[in-house]
Amino acid sequence: MMAIVALAAAMPLRMMAQATTSTPTSAAVNLITPLTLTQVSPLHFGTMSVQASTAGTCVLKTDGTRAQTGGVNLSTAAPLATAASYTVTGAVSTTYEITLPPTISVTDGSSNTMTISSLVAKAASSAADGTTGTLSATGTDAFTVGGTLTVPAGQAIGAYTGNFNVTVAYN
């Protein structure tokens, strides 16, 4: 009788041991070339004036052309307007995402500032403005950046500058 009780007590353990199994599983990783981003030209809205009583904007498109609104008057005097341009290198035929700041502040080095907003990018590999590009069969692409400069009425004359970060990352 004692042997039957011992045998019955051992059975669930043996059954539990038989109910588990394992299998070898492989692990892998694919390392690709890191992205590099190089600025070719800066974002420059060119030369303009603004009326003393009327604010306005200068819209710099990704193709480098400008449009004015309100009291802003565009000039063809140097320095000329340029959309910011960049080159990207990385893994062949991969897509990447461009991240731009929501606004940029430019200053004359004193207390006078203006804001650049509505930043937009256009990759050479894309048919339209957007924040996605595709690296070519040689692992390269280029893109440009434009935006909208808001110029308050009677803004102080001077040369305004500022810095901003552009980031690219694989999708």
- Whole-number Å distance between alpha carbons of 24 and 102: 49
Contact residues for 148 (Cβ-Cβ < 8 A; gap 6+): 57, 58, 59, 60, 116, 117, 118
- Whole-number Å distance between alpha carbons of 158 and 77: 14
Written as six digits, the tokens of 109 are: 């080095």
Per-residue pLDDT band for 2 (boundaries 50, 70, 90) equals: low
Residue 19 has what pLDDT?
83
Percent of the chain exceeding pLDDT 90 equals 88
- Whole-number Å distance between alpha carbons of 65 and 42: 14
Residue 4 confidence (pLDDT) above 70: no
Picking from 66, 65, 83, 89, the residue whose alpha carbon sits closest to that of residue 145 is 83
Q: Where are the domains of the chain?
A: 32-156
Q: Are 143 and 86 in contact (CB under 8 A)?
A: yes
Percent of the chain exceeding pLDDT 70 equals 89
Q: In whole numbers, what is the pLDDT of the chain averaged over residues? A: 92
pLDDT in tens, 22-71: 999 999 999 999 999 999 999 999 999 999 999 999 999 999 999 999 99
Rg of the chain over all Cα atoms, to the nearest angstrom: 30
**What's the pTM value of the predicted model, to 2 decimals?**
0.84
Return the H-helix or E-strand segment holding 5: helix 2-18
